[in-house]
Structure 1
């Protein structure tokens, strides 16, 4: 049974990836950001059979020693740790550089010096900015419209540079808008579903016009595994989009969720939820043909199927109780 490492393992995508890795026969060293509450985030909700194959490591990607200790003796490193909230990046941009750029540098350095066979670095579709051509291929210009996206692009460029400079065995995966159970209310789908599940029939949102390519989290986890296990000559040193190739506006998404949850909704615009005018990304839709060609990966869930699973999660009172549905979660 091989051992792999995951940074950001306690988070939304990270916890699903840990489940996926264990299901495929791996032991996982799961880095959880050190905190005084001894909280392991979403890892605490995983089945005991899964956790029996997981070693939880409290640490911080901003600390080189923490990272070296985590990745030593592993066969692959999945680097997901990041600050992700776009609105908070307007308030605290320095913290995004510390985590998303310097943290990535620390992971790359550890992987390089310990000769780890494969590293998967997590990018984001936000690095493209508003689509100039659609669907968006990996050759689309990078246009960072928020401090968050700029920090993620910085990490991407470091990954590229380490492969070119040191032959570091790194792959960049660029998921489009992942959604599903356990997602933070800093994203639109849980914001809509959780408000409805809590009893609201008038929900508050920001701009309803942007379109997104929504990818169910189980399919995102499968994409990570695909690029980590594909032959090196097919993936190393390359960047891959992960998306469905479909898009839906936020407004139409709200209508669909209301239909699936069998409620009549009204939407009230909350100005504090709006991005600065030149920072809003209006259209994102993926061309994932490069990933399909290199790994045979393809999404297994439709938008509706993924939404139904997400709705079921939020309708469970124990899950809903973890969320603050009556405030704007920055």
Structure 2
């Protein structure tokens, strides 16, 4: 089996590549992996260092918006599976400059889908986000919930989800969509809240808490996310959407308190800042479908995962110093 992983040098994509090559996903055992990555600010070759010498890995530099380059990697007729992680993902960046989010997330996805169709790819897994659903005051979103995105980032991802669906419905391409909750873990670029707060606290700085700190997120360890993606890739039904959740909902205030405790810092290190524009109040996905159909359950308890993540950033200053 040959798998093309777009964004395979990024935070989640590189974890997927490492775990596939380590044999952690039985349905993908022995697969050859081709990474396609543009190596923008968040894609780093160092994320693949543990597997760089594996003869089953090939790394290709290329932008998913480039039809010729994508066709060279995806459309050669020898690809069994595409797992599409590549995306612009940081909400704050999308608020100040939406153009790259639209072209990468929407146009790039269309380019990949067309190459997969032209090249006879066996399955296309489109990795998306719970943010496409909007905000929910209570309960949890099922996969059938209407898409109501509120940021340029989530709107672009919603557009890419619909394109993926259209290629299945119109052309019969075997497409599966996954929508995950907030990821955390090692190798995450320090613009997202957990690595941003951890690295600032380790450096003796202060951390910015938006608004009243009561925005709620469900936290999913990156290895659990990759396990869910692998299950969707190997066992999911064509044309279906699968939510992937972590099972730990926290307010941003509660998360901040845990991060302060993890590094031995006090409340004086918190700086209250004005809320973000269009800040969604709460995300929560119903992941019973992937549990019941594919056997997914999160394996990493949040306290364990958070402690391991903080330890990784403490021990890998050479990875993140100078990035913020």
Equivalent-residue separation in structure 2 for 1:132 and 1:206 (angstroms) = 18
Shift of 1:260: 2.6
Task: Please say if residues 8 and 85 of structure 2, whose CA atoms lie closer than 8 Å, have aligned partners that are also in contact.
Answer: yes
Quickly say closer, same or farther: Cα 1:136–1:213, change in 2 above 3 A: same
Kindly report which structure 2 residues correspond to 1:191-206, keeping only aligned pairs within 5 A, or say none. Answer: 191-200=196-205, 202-206=206-210
Alignment of structure 1 residues 116-127 onto 2, 5 Å? 116-127=121-132
Which residue number corresponds to residue 19 of structure 2?
20
Query: Where do 5+ consecutive residues of structure 2 fail to align?
Result: 24-29
- What is the 5 A alignment of 1:1-330? 2-24=1-23, 25-33=30-38, 41-48=44-51, 51-71=54-74, 72=76, 73-200=78-205, 202-207=206-211, 208-230=213-235, 234-266=236-268, 267-271=270-274, 274-276=275-277, 279-316=278-315, 317-324=317-324
Runs of 4+ deviating beyond 4 Å: 42-45, 48-51
Asked if 2 retains the 8 angstrom alpha-carbon contact of 1:313 and 1:319, the reply is no
In structure 1, C-alpha distance between the alignment counterparts of 2:198 and 2:43, rounded to whole Å: 25
Deviation at 1:319, TM superposition (A): 3.0
Secondary structure at the residue paired with 1:57? Answer: strand
For residues 211 and 304 of structure 1, the distance between their equivalents in structure 2, rounded to whole angstroms, comes to: 17
- For structure 1, the residue ranges without an aligned partner over 5 or more in a row are 325-330
CA distance, structure 2, for counterparts of residue 306 and residue 42 of structure 1 = 24
Q: TM-score, normalised by structure 2?
A: 0.91
Residue 34 (structure 1) shift: 5.7
| Secondary structure class of the residue paired with 1:46 | helix
When normalised by structure 1's length, the TM-score is 0.89
Over aligned residues, Cα RMSD in angstroms?
Answer: 1.9
Q: CA separation of 1:48/1:129 partners in 2, compared to 1, >3 Å: closer, same or farther?
A: closer
Q: Distance in 2 between matches of 1:268 and 1:179?
A: 22
Q: In 1, distance between residues paired with 2:51 and 2:244?
A: 30
Q: Distance in 2 between matches of 1:225 and 1:50?
A: 23
Aligned-partner Cα distance in 1 for 2:248–2:307 = 18
